[in-house]
Amino acid sequence: MKPHDLMGVEFHFLTPGFLWAKIESMRRMLKKYFGYESFLPGQEEVIRWVLEKRDGLVLMPTGGGKSLCYQLPALIRPGVTLVVSPLIALMKDQVDGLKNNGVRAEFINSSLSFLEINKIQQAAENGLIKILYVAPERLVLPPFIDFLKKINLGLIAVDEAHCISEWGHDFRPDYRNLKILRENFPAAPILALTATATERVKQDIIERLKLNKPKIFISSFNRPNLIYKVRPKRQAWENLLVIVEKHKNDSVIIYCFSRKETENIAARLDSEGYQAKAYHAGLDSEMRKKVQEKFIRDEVQIIVATIAFGMGIDKPDVRLLVHYSLPKSMEGYYQETGRAGRDGLQSECVLFYSFGDTKKHQFFIDQITNKVVRQSSERKLREVVEYCELIGCRREYLLNYFGENAISCNGCDNCLTSREEVEATVISQKIMSAIIKTGERFGGKHIAEVLRGSQNKKIKSWKHDKLSVYGIEREKSAPEIMEIIRYLVGKGLVIKDQGRYPTLSIGKRGREALKKRQVIKLPKAKESKTADYQTDKLFEKLRRLRKVIADRTRVPPYIVFNDVSLKQMAKLKPKTGAEFLKITGVGEEKQKRYGQEFLQAINNYKKRPAPSTYEETKRLWKKGLNIEEIVEKRGDTKGTIINHLEKLVQAGEKINLARIKPKEEKFKIIKAAFEKSGGKKLSPVKEILGEDYSYDELKIARLFLIFSTPDR
């Protein structure tokens, strides 16, 4: 096949009268090469403008879909599209991504040998390359310019265009040379793209690139899929663990203040069983590269980094981004949080705030000798504090900060958590009693375990299983109890001392509340998890397949398919090739490369029989979770989990049921009812006992009737 046949050569002959046909064709190519049904906001306008051979400047937030703005025109325009990018580390991924979509792309930078570069240049001269990525320093070499003159440059894209300006946050001197582009290639339209540019930087870009009457495209900087949260930095570590556990299958970035802190947090997460690695400027470049690579390949789950991390990575599926310390400015915060959820799926940005942290920053600000700079830094820090202490919508504040008007938000803690309070007197009393009964020398986790009747060694060795508070709260999970403890600390009812292993005690106010049986109200959290268990499981399976394929073909997993595509596959469960092609992100090339394997995985998944589900329950049970927690994890009903336990016990598995043993009194009554009914069926027993006993309760009791052995 001749190269241009592939590339939709029909456009070269279009006149404006064919506009409709052109748009139709654009959409066809969008699906064919990128697998998308429609454009993201702003993309189509930019692409049309570029196809008119006009210069443009695109300001789009991270994840807005900037690349497509030049990649699609590259397929439509004749000749080669030159993409200038400062991020050498990213070029390979981008090119791999394009190749996976059946687009002939290459890159030229210092990581390639002379021979390899020569080969690519040859291919370009022979019209075999559509998109060519280069680093800016390449453009000062006269032979390279000569080479570019030999090929037909149809379009020039300058990515990260803010790097051209000293007024931006990431000035690259090499970008100054880019003026030669306009001088040497007057016929090729130039498209500059960036995610951050102040007015001043915008002007710099236009002037220095010598853009000719450019149109400026500005997208909203709202990132609707990001949820912004601020948490008080009390018990920060426990809090962090709770949040991280919620994202235990996801990629996570945690930003810290200092190198030492990154090392420390990474080590602690590691000892909790997470794959976490520190990343900071103090590591040698070899090490940094390795960490980054592993993160991109889903082999390291959590990166604990100073803010230096993130410039060179384009991982689309970072679902949790934590600032363990205060950011320096709102610009910084916006940029750093921008690294979460680039694929548009919901992702969380959590900032831990304590006023004490501002002092660390203040210390550095005080060292600044330039008065103007110092004052400006102080102002920026104040704005961050203002953001943290905000009662209103955080998104509104962020967008206002960048001069945008508010939009509707249901994705920040202040909008998600209703101010509504719920009564929590009983649970609060239980917690406070447990703190007192255990001698006011333990932390929240231990208290939660005592209340839940956990079997762990520590509890036994302290004889806390003999206390009256032992096992009096089995409905709530440990994280839930710990969350309530946090609120009680916040209200001053429980006191938490500072230290490496902070212990809880009850202060004057707490004792008074207990004594007077005061009503205690706590804020009600409204966030609900809406997970479809089956879909989630299939998603996990497809992720594993993706990883296998990625390793086999030596690309990052997201190059094979991103999470958006996998989620859709898990949900829609395509059966045929045609159905598979309807999935977003599936173009013709990916269909060809991966269709069969994924379809097979999806089909097999449906046919898979149940047994593994028992295994999962067994695993969770042995981990020490209680029924409610397993229900929450697996999305099954309580009854189903009890059935699993029953089946497992019947199958001779050693399942320790002690932690759900019914109270002796009730058990006697249920036992009598079973005897009276003369069988093992539940409904006759339920009939006898009536409303006071639930089916689940009866089922649990039955476990002890049928299989009662001394150790149960």
Binding site for ligand ADP (CB under 6 A): 36, 39-40, 43, 60, 62-68, 316, 342-344, 562, 584
Q: Is 153 in the site for Zn ion (CB under 5 A)?
A: no
> Using an 8 Å Cβ cutoff, are 300 and 291 in contact?
yes
Report the distance separating Cα 294 and Cα 556, nearest Å: 9
Q: Is 163 in the site for Zn ion (CB under 5 A)?
A: no
User: What are the residue ranges of helices labelled H in 608-636?
Assistant: 612-622, 627-634
Q: DSSP assignment of 72-111, as one string? A: HHHHHSSSEEEEE-S-HHHHHHHHHHHHHTT--EEEESTT
Cβ-Cβ contacts under 8 Å for 55 (sequence gap 6 or more): 189, 190, 191, 211, 212, 213, 214, 215
Strands 226-232 and 347-353: parallel
Contact partner, 415, from Zn ion, ligand ADP, none, Cβ < 5-8 Å per class: Zn ion
Residue linked to tokens 């020039």 = 156
CB nearer to ligand ADP: pick between 411 and 444: 411
Contact partner, 562, from ligand ADP, Zn ion, none, Cβ < 5-8 Å per class: ligand ADP
Contact partner, 301, from ligand ADP, Zn ion, none, Cβ < 5-8 Å per class: none
Contact partner, 395, from ligand ADP, Zn ion, none, Cβ < 5-8 Å per class: Zn ion
Rounded to a whole number of angstroms, the minimum distance from the CB of residue 255 to Zn ion is 22
Report the distance separating Cα 109 and Cα 58, nearest Å: 25
CB nearer to Zn ion: pick between 90 and 412: 412
CB nearer to Zn ion: pick between 383 and 465: 383
Among the listed ranges 41-49, 213-221, 389-397, 655-663, the one in contact with Zn ion (CB under 5 A) is 389-397
Rounded to a whole number of angstroms, the minimum distance from the CB of residue 588 to ligand ADP is 16
Contact partner, 40, from Zn ion, ligand ADP, none, Cβ < 5-8 Å per class: ligand ADP
CB nearer to ligand ADP: pick between 65 and 411: 65
Tokens of 254: 């945690």
CB nearer to ligand ADP: pick between 38 and 126: 38
Residues touching Zn ion: how many (CB under 5 A)? 5
Rounded to a whole number of angstroms, the minimum distance from the CB of residue 37 to ligand ADP is 7
Report the distance separating Cα 268 and Cα 4, nearest Å: 56
Site string for Zn ion, 402-421 (x = CB under 5 A): -------x--x--x------
Local structure of 231: helix, strand or coil: strand
Torsion, CA 545, CA 550, CA 556, CA 560, rounded to 10: -70
The interface with Zn ion within residues 193-252 (CB under 5 A) comprises none
Site string for Zn ion, 615-654 (x = CB under 5 A): ----------------------------------------
| Binding test (CB under 5 A) with Zn ion, winner from 22, 130, 138, 395 | 395
**313 burial level (CB within 10 Å; 0-12, 13-18, 19+):** buried
Q: Is 486 in the site for Zn ion (CB under 5 A)?
A: no
Contacts 24+ apart (CB under 8 A), 196-201: 196/162, 196/168, 196/169, 196/331, 196/335, 197/59, 197/161, 197/162, 197/168, 198/167, 198/168, 200/165, 200/167, 201/162, 201/165, 201/167, 201/168
Report the distance separating Cα 605 and Cα 539, nearest Å: 10
Q: Is 253 in the site for Zn ion (CB under 5 A)?
A: no
Rounded to a whole number of angstroms, the minimum distance from the CB of residue 549 to ligand ADP is 17
Which residues, in sequence order, are bridge partners of residue 400? none
Rounded to a whole number of angstroms, the minimum distance from the CB of residue 8 to ligand ADP is 17
Among the listed ranges 388-396, 426-434, 481-489, 607-615, the one in contact with Zn ion (CB under 5 A) is 388-396
Contact partner, 68, from Zn ion, ligand ADP, none, Cβ < 5-8 Å per class: ligand ADP
Element of type H or E holding 347: strand 347-353
Cβ-Cβ contacts under 8 Å for 301 (sequence gap 6 or more): 248, 250, 251, 252, 274, 275, 276
Contact partner, 235, from ligand ADP, Zn ion, none, Cβ < 5-8 Å per class: none
CB nearer to ligand ADP: pick between 455 and 584: 584
> Using an 8 Å Cβ cutoff, are 86 and 172 in contact?
yes
Report the distance separating Cα 475 and Cα 452, nearest Å: 8
Rounded to a whole number of angstroms, the minimum distance from the CB of residue 172 to ligand ADP is 17
Among the listed ranges 34-42, 401-409, 536-544, 595-603, the one in contact with Zn ion (CB under 5 A) is 401-409
Contact partner, 60, from ligand ADP, Zn ion, none, Cβ < 5-8 Å per class: ligand ADP
Local structure of 430: helix, strand or coil: helix
Residue 305: phi, psi to the nearest 5? -135, 160
CB nearer to ligand ADP: pick between 191 and 244: 191
Interface residues toward Zn ion, by CB under 5 A: 393, 395, 409, 412, 415
